[in-house]
Amino acid sequence: MSAASLDSAQQDKNWVQDDDAEAFARLANTRFSCRAFLSHSVPDAVIAKILETAQHSASWCNAQPWQIIVTRGAGTERFRSGIYRHASEHRPSSDYPYPREYHGVYRERRRECALQLYASLGITRAERDAANKQAMENYRLFGAPHVAIITSDEALGVYGAVDCGGFASSFALAAHSQGVATVIQAALASHPGFIREHFGLPNDRLIVCGISFGYADQLHPINGYRTTRERIAQSTTWVDE
């Protein structure tokens, strides 16, 4: 590396506080998908701060394709009751293709996650009705007082969806930094027609995901388990030449 490059790197480092790396690692390592919330609302100022932080997510050509609907109060309750009723009566469908299959290690990880979730509630593999009932809690927003619906422009295709995924991750970490719990839900995006009609969205706004959020019920057993992560050796290939 040249002396000029070293100087530039040092200048970049000066933009970052000494404890930023530790803070980010702490947030990333302790964030979890919350599936039981307390009922009281998050203050508007806190939600605005989360959104302002997430707005700095990277996006292709700085397109910033995400548009967000945030519910609160009666708006959350209307959406909760509406989508639960709709999901009870209609088969899921999505604006974006579902995975063709989960195979190999992806199947193993998915299975481990499901077993941990149901074990935390004392639901055995044989109790299909109980498992299905718990799955339907997605449409009750797990009791959250708020939900954020993330949409993208149809013309941007998969690139817009990828950018919105980055926004969702930033939203979850920004919320965690404010003591607000989240769960990113593909289940909500499995009824896009209902969501567009409910919120009056045009057909060219595609539903990427929902994020239910609020304050975690720390005493609920479903919030007590944590999913595992692979070592970087399992997901990273180093190339030296």
Total of domains in the chain? 1
Q: Is residue 209 part of a domain?
A: yes
- Distance CA(220)–CA(225), nearest Å, equals 10
pLDDT of residue 10: 53
pLDDT, one tens digit per residue, over 152-210 is 999 999 999 999 999 999 999 999 999 999 999 999 999 999 999 999 999 999 999 99
Q: Is residue 237 part of a domain?
A: no
Cβ(73)–Cβ(197) under 8 Å?
A: no
pLDDT band with cut points at 50, 70 and 90 for residue 2: low
Strand duo 181-185 + 146-153: pairing? unpaired
137 vs 8, higher pLDDT: 137
Q: Is residue 233 part of a domain?
A: no
- Distance CA(33)–CA(187), nearest Å, equals 14
Q: Is residue 125 part of a domain?
A: no
**pLDDT at residue 30 is higher than 90:** yes
Q: Is residue 132 part of a domain?
A: no
Mean pLDDT (whole number) for 96-101: 96
pLDDT of residue 18: 77
Mean pLDDT (whole number) for 205-223: 98
In a 10 Å sphere around its CB, with 0-12 CB exposed, 13-18 middle and 19+ buried, how is residue 186 labelled?
middle
Mean pLDDT (whole number) for 117-134: 94
CATH code for the domain of 81: 3.40.109.10
pLDDT of residue 16: 75
Q: Is residue 207 part of a domain?
A: yes
Rg value, the chain, Cα: 20
Cβ(202)–Cβ(144) under 8 Å?
A: no
**pLDDT at residue 11 is higher than 70:** no
Whole-number average pLDDT of the chain: 94
- Distance CA(121)–CA(83), nearest Å, equals 24
Q: Is residue 47 part of a domain?
A: yes
Mean pLDDT (whole number) for 55-60: 98
pLDDT band with cut points at 50, 70 and 90 for residue 125: confident
The residue assigned the tokens 């708020």 is: 146
- Distance CA(172)–CA(4), nearest Å, equals 37
Angle, nearest 10°, between helix axes 128-135 and 104-120?
90
The tokens of 36 are what?
A: 């039981």
Percent of the chain with pLDDT over 70: 94
Q: Report DSSP letters for 79-139, one per residue.
A: HHHHHHHHHHHS----SSPPPS---HHHHHHHHHHHHHHHHHTT--TT-HHHHHHHHGGGG
pLDDT, one tens digit per residue, over 69-87 is 999 999 999 999 999 999 9
pLDDT, one tens digit per residue, over 226-238 is 999 999 999 999 9
CA 161, 12, 9 angle in degrees (round to 5)?
110
pLDDT of residue 6: 45
Q: Is residue 219 part of a domain?
A: yes
**pLDDT at residue 3 is higher than 90:** no
Mean pLDDT (whole number) for 3-16: 56
Residue 46 domain boundaries: 32-98+139-228
